[in-house]
Homo-oligomer: A and B are copies of this chain.
Amino acid sequence: MTPPRRITLKDLAAQLGVSTATVSNAFNRPDQLSPKLREHILHEARLRGYQGPDAKARSLRTGRSQIVAVILAESLTYSLNDAVASELLSGIAEVLDAQGHTLLLLSGRQSPARVPGSASIADGFIVYGLMPSLAMLADLPAQRPLVAVDFDVEGQASVHVDNEPAAYAIARHALGTSPKRPAVINLRLTEQPCNGRIGPEHALLSADRTITRARLDGFQRAFAEHGIEPDDVPMWNIEENTHEVCAPVIEEILDLPDDERPDLLLCMSDRIALTALILAEARGLRVPDDLRITGFDGIAEGQYRAPRLTTVRQDSVEKGRVAARMILGLEPPSSRLLGTELVIGETCP
A: residues with CB less than 8 A from B are 4, 6, 49, 51-60, 63, 65-67, 76-77, 80-81, 83, 86-87, 89-90, 93-94, 97-98, 100-107, 110-112, 116-121, 139, 141-143, 243, 275, 278, 281-282, 300-301, 304-306, 317
Contacts and interface: CB of A to CB of B under 8 A. Distances in A.
Count copies of this chain in the complex. Answer: 2
B120 A121 contact: no
A57 B60 CA distance: 6
A102 to B, nearest CB: 5
B306 A117 contact: no
A7 to B, nearest CB: 10
A102 B118 contact: yes
Contacts of A105: 93, 102-105
A104 B106 contact: no
B102 A55 contact: no
A300 B247 CA distance: 13
Contact of A102 (B77, B119, B305, B306): B119
Contacts of A119: 55, 102
Contact of A103 (B58, B86, B104, B142): B104
A124 to B, nearest CB: 14
